[in-house]
Structure 1
Amino acid sequence: MMDALLELEKTMLGIFLGIMIAIFISKLRHKQFKLPPGPTPVPIFGNWLQVGNDLNHGNLVDLAKRFGHLFLLRMGVRNLVVVSSPQLAKQVLHTQGVVFGSRCSNMVYDIFTAIDTTLRSIEWAIAELINHPEVQKKLRHEIDSVLGVGVQVTEPDTHKLPYLEAVIKETLRLRMGVPLLVPHMNLDDAKLGGYDIPAKSKVVVNAWWLANNPAHWKNPEEFRPERFMEEESNVEANGNDFRFLPFGAGRRSCPGIMTALPIMGITLGRLVQNFELLPPPGQSKIDTAEKRGQFLLQILKHSTVVAKPRSI
C-alpha cells in the first residue's frame, strides 16, 4: 500500500513539475515575443480545452470579434494564427508571401477541397436561384437575349453573360466553398500586424469573414448578384481584391479557378435556360442552413428540387 502511495506521489510531483516548467517556458516566450492577443492558454493543452477541434469559420469570427483581426490560439505546442482582415490577408498572401509561403502538410485537406468544392458551390447556387426566383428569371432573360432562345451555353459564352458571372461570384462570396484558406506557415520568426509570429506557426485566413464582414460589404447577408455589377463591379474571383478570396491569392492561390468558374458557368447557365428550378412540392423555399466544418461549407439538409422543363 505504501509503495503504491509513493508511486502516486512521484507521479503527481512529476506532473506538477511539468506544468511549472511549461508555465515558465511560456512566460519566457511571452517576454521574448510580442504575441497576438487571444484566449488565455492552459499549460500543456493550450487552447484545446476552450475551442476543441471545431475550428470552423463561424467560431473563428466570434473569436475575431473578441480579440481582433489577428489573434493567436495555442493548440497544444503549436501556434495557430488567425487572420480576419483584408489588409492582414494581403500581408500573408502577397506582401510577405515568401515569408508565409510554406504549407502545412494536410493530404485530406488537399484531396477533399480539390474534388468537392465545385460541386458544393453549384449546389449552393441552385439553392439560391430557387430561393430568389427573380434572380433566376433575370438570368434566363440575359441568356435568351445574348445567345438566343435554345442556343446552349458554352464556355466562351460565359464571358458574354455578366449577370451569370455575377451570380457565380455572389454564390462564392456568400457561400464560400472553402471558408478557411489553405493554411500557410512561416519557417522563421516573422512580423505581422505589429506582432511577432514565432517560427513554424500555422497561419489561417478566414476568407469567409473577409467576404461577409459588414464593415467591408453592403448588406453582406443578402444574396444580391447585382452588387458585382454595381458598387463591386471591379471585384473579381482571382484575388484582385483581398476582401474576396474564394480561390486565395498570391503564390499559393488555387489553380482550380481555371476549371471551377467555367464548370459553374456552363452548368448553371444550361440549367436555367432549359428548366425552371423550383423547391420541392409543399415548400416555398430551400432550407439553406449551413453545415460548418474546417474544410468545406455545405448545406445541412439536402433537398430534392424540381426541374420543370421550360416552355418556349
Structure 2
Amino acid sequence: MLGTCSSSSLLLVVITLIYLVQRLGFKSNIICGVTCSSATVPLPPGPLPWPVVGNLPEMMLNKPAFRWIHLVMKKMGTDIACFRLGRVNVVPITCPKIAREVLKKQDTNFVSRPLTFASSTVSCGYKNVVLSPFGEQWKKMRRVLTTEIICPSRHKWLHNKRADEADNFTRYVYNLATGTSSRGSSSTSDANVDVRHVTRHYCGNVIRRLVFGKRYFGEPQPDGGPGPLEVEHIDASFTCLGFVYSFCISDYLPWLLGLDLDGQEKVVKEANATVNRLHDMVIDERWRQWKGGETQDGVEDLLDVLITLKDGHGSPLLTIEEVKAVCKGDIIFAALDNPSNAVEWALAEMVNNPELLDKAVEEMDRVVGRERLVQESDIPQLNYIKACIREAFRLHPIAPFNLPHVALADTTVAGYRVPKGSHVLLSRVGLGRNPTIWDDPLRFKPERHMRDDAGVELTENELRFISFSTGRRGCIAASLGTTISVMLFGRLLQGFTWAKPAGVSFIDLSESRHDLSMTKPLLLHAEPRLPLHLYPTSR
C-alpha cells in the first residue's frame, strides 16, 4: 500500500478538488449519486459527500484509505456503508451475512470488476481472468484456467516440481540457520532467519518452477536462495499487488489520469515494467521456440501448456499477450502474498505463545515423525497446522479488502439500495475480526477452527473470513494455495526449532500503518531439529 502522501501533494489535491467544485457549481442535493427526491430505498449510511468529488477530499487527507473507511464505519456502528468517491459508490461490508448475500444470493449481479489504472496496467489491458470485467474475454480466459491450468490432473502432473522446491527451501533455511549461507550469520549461535524473506521467496520459487520450469531468472545460487533478479522479481510483484486497487484518485476522477496527484501511477508503471522485463525474457524466447519448431522436450510446464493450446480449428487459442497476462496476473501474482503473509504472522504469534508452537510441532512429529520430511500426502492429517494457517488468514489477512465486485444492475443488499456500477468491497479485516461472529476476535486461537467430526480445510465458504473467497470471482486455485501454505509452514515447523532472537523478550505484533503486514519483517533464531541426512544437500 502507498504510504502517506507528502503535505504538498495533499494540498494540491484538495485545492484542485475545491476549485472544481466551485467552478462546476453542482447543487448539494446529490448524495451517493442519487437525488434525495428520487430515492425510494435508502442507500447504505455513510459520510455526506461533496458535490462532484464526493468523499475524495476526506480520503486523501486520511491515508491510508482503508483505515479511514473502517474507522468511519466503526464510529457509525454499521456493517455496510456507502462512500461516494467521485461518481462511484464504494460499498464496504464487514458482516458475513451481508457478504453471503452478495457473493452467494446475488453472485451473478456482482461478477464484474472495476476499471482502474493499476488493474489495466497489470492485466495487460484486461486480457487475464482475475482483474478483467465481466464479458467474453473473462469467460474465455476462465475456461482456459479451469480446464487446462487449475485442474486435478495438472496439479498431480506438477507434483515433482513442488516437491523439489520444498526440498530446496529446507536446504536454504538450513544454510541460513547454521551460518553456512553467504547471507546468513557467521556462527550457529547467532544465526537468525528473516522469515518474511524466506517465505516470500519460497512462494516465488514454487510458482516460477510451475510456470517457467525454473527457479532462477539468473544464475543458480549455491545456498539455494534467491539471486538479485529473483529479489527484484518478488519486490516488484508485491508492489504491484499492493497497488492494484489502492484508492488511486484518478480511478474515481478519470480526467486527472496522467497528473499522478497521489504518486501511484509512477510506482505501478515502474513495478509492472520490472515484472514484464523478467517474464518477457522467458516467455518471448519460449514462444519463438514453439513457433519455430525448435522445442524438443515437449510440454513441461504451464507456459508450454498455454502456448500450445489450440482452438476448435487447430489454430493457437491464445495470443502471446494473453499468455503473458495469465502467467503474471492469474498464476504468479495469485500464489505469492497470501501463503507467505499467513505463515509469517502465524509463526510470530506462536513464538510469543510457545504452547501453540509446541502443539503444532507435536502434531508434526506424530503424523510425520523425524525420520523423513513432510510431504504433500501428509496434508490431510495436519489439521492443527491447517487451523493455525486458517487463524492467520482470519486475524491477519494480507489485504484489508477482497478484490472489488461491481454491480451490473441496481439491486438491494441488506435492505439498502446498491445502484448499478457500485464497487462492493468485502472487508477481510471486518469479517475476520467481527466480534458478533468471533469470540475474543483479536486473540490468535487456532483451536476455534478444530472440529471433532471433520478435518480442517483452508477454504471458508461461509465468508466468516476470507482465505480464497467464493463465487464466480472466487479463487479457483484453492488446492494449490493450500498446498503451498501447508508445505511452507510444515517444513519450517518440522525442520527447525524457532525462538526469539537473543535479547528479545516479545515479538512485536503491531501492524504496519500503511498495510496489514507486520511493522518489521519477522526475525527469529532457528536451529535444525532433524537428523542431518534429512536436510537436502547442494545440487
- TM-score normalised by length of structure 1: 0.86
Q: 1:114 to 1:297 in 2, by over 3 A?
A: farther
Find 2:447's aligned residue among 207, 211, 226: 226
Within the candidate set 43, 57, 70, 1:49 is matched to: 57
Distance apart, 1:40 and its partner CA = 0.9
What is the SS of the residue equivalent to 1:139? helix
Counterpart of 2:525? 306
Write the distance in 1 (CA, Å) between the matches of 2:468 and 2:416: 27
1:266–1:113 distance in 2 versus 1, CA, 3 Å: closer
- Give the match for residue 99 of structure 1: 109
Aligned sequence identity (%): 33
CA deviations over 1:37-58 (Å, ceiling 9, x no partner): 10111122211122325222x4
Distance in structure 1 (CA, Å) of the matches to 2:57 and 2:455: 43
| Residues 212, 266 of structure 1: alpha-carbon distance in 2 compared, 3 angstrom cutoff | same
Structure 2 residue aligned with 1:129:
350
| Secondary structure of the corresponding residue to residue 248 of structure 1 | coil
The whole-number CA distance in structure 1 between the counterparts of 2:446 and 2:454 is 10
Q: CA deviation at 1:198?
A: 1.4
1:64 partnered with 2:69: no
Partner secondary structure for residue 373 of structure 2 = coil
Deviations 1:77-120 (A, max 9, x none): 21101111111101111100011111113234565565323222
Report the number of matched residues. Answer: 297
1:120 matched to 2:120? The reply is no
Aligned to 1:181: 402
Distance 2:20 2:371 in 1: 77
Which runs of no fewer than 5 residues in structure 2 stay unpaired?
1-17, 123-239, 245-328, 532-539
Contact 2:393 2:466 in 1 (8 A): no
1:232, distance to aligned residue in structure 2 (A) = 11
Of 498, 506, 510 in structure 2, the residue corresponding to residue 289 of structure 1 is 510
The one-letter code sitting in structure 2 at the alignment partner of 1:30 is C
Larger strand proportion, structure 1 or 2? 1
When the two chains are superposed, the root-mean-square deviation of aligned CA atoms in Å is 2.7
- Map 1:116-265; keep pairs closer than 5 Å: 116-230=337-451, 236-265=457-486
State the distance in 1 between where 2:526 and 2:20 align.
Answer: 67
Write the distance in 2 (CA, Å) between the matches of 1:32 and 1:114.
Answer: 46
Q: Which amino acid aligns with 1:29?
A: T
Query: Which has the larger displacement, 158-167 or 117-126?
Result: 117-126
Equivalent residue for 1:29? 35
Matched residue type, 2:47: P
Shift in Å, 1:14: 9.4
Residue 74 of structure 1 aligns to which amino acid in structure 2? R
SS at match of 1:98: helix
CA spacing shift, 1:94–1:159, aligned 2, 3 Å: same
**Structure 1, unaligned stretches of length 5 or more?**
1-11
Q: Residue 89 of structure 2 aligns to a residue in which SS? A: strand
Structure 1 residue matching 2:417: 3-state secondary structure: strand
Output the CA distance in 2 between the equivalents of 1:229 and 1:25.
Answer: 49
Deviation of 1:206 after TM superposition, in Å, equals 0.6
| Correspondence for 2:488 among 267, 272, 279 | 267
Residues 130 and 190 from structure 1, CA distance in 2 versus in 1: closer, same or farther, beyond 3 angstroms? Answer: same
CA distance in 1, matches of 2:453, 2:29: 50
Match of residue 277 from structure 1: 498
Q: Secondary structure at the match of 1:168?
A: helix
Seen in structure 2, the aligned counterparts of structure 1 residues 240 and 28 have a Cα distance that, compared at 3 Å, is closer
Which amino acid in the other structure matches residue 255 of structure 1?
I
Classify 1:118/1:152 alpha carbon distance in 2 versus 1 (closer, same or farther; 3 Å).
same
- Once the two structures are TM-superposed, the CA of residue 25 in structure 1 deviates from its matched residue by 4.7
Secondary structure in 2 matching 1:99: helix
The letter for the 2-side match of 1:95 is K
* Residue of structure 1 equivalent to 2:46: 38
User: What amino acid sits opposite 1:55 in the alignment?
Assistant: A
Is the Cα–Cα contact under 8 Å of residues 159 and 165 in structure 1 kept in the other structure? no
| Cα distance in structure 1, aligned partners of 2:80 and 2:429 | 15
Once residues 239 and 209 of structure 1 are traced to their aligned partners in structure 2, the CA distance between those partners, rounded to angstroms, is: 15
- Tell me the distance in 1 between the aligned counterparts of 2:34 and 2:368: 67
Shift of 1:13: 11
User: What secondary structure is seen at the aligned counterpart in 1 of 2:107?
Assistant: coil
Alignment deviations for residues 233-275 of structure 1 (CA, whole Å, 9 cap, x no partner): 7884323222122221111112342222211211211211221
Structure 1 residues 212 and 231: CA distance shift in structure 2, 3 A: farther
Instruction: Please give the alpha-carbon distance, in whole angstroms, between the structure 1 residues aligned to 2:463 and 2:476.
Output: 17
Cα deviation, residue 285, structure 1: 2.3
Distance 1:139 1:31, change over 3 A: same
SS at match of 1:71: coil
1:233–1:226 Cα change, 3 Å: farther
CA distance in 1, matches of 2:80, 2:375: 43
Note closer, same or farther for the CA distance 1:220–1:199 as it changes in structure 2 (3 Å cut): same
In 2, the alpha carbon distance for the partners of 1:102 and 1:213 equals 26
* Paired letter, 2:51: P
Deviation at residue 186 of structure 1 after TM alignment: 0.8
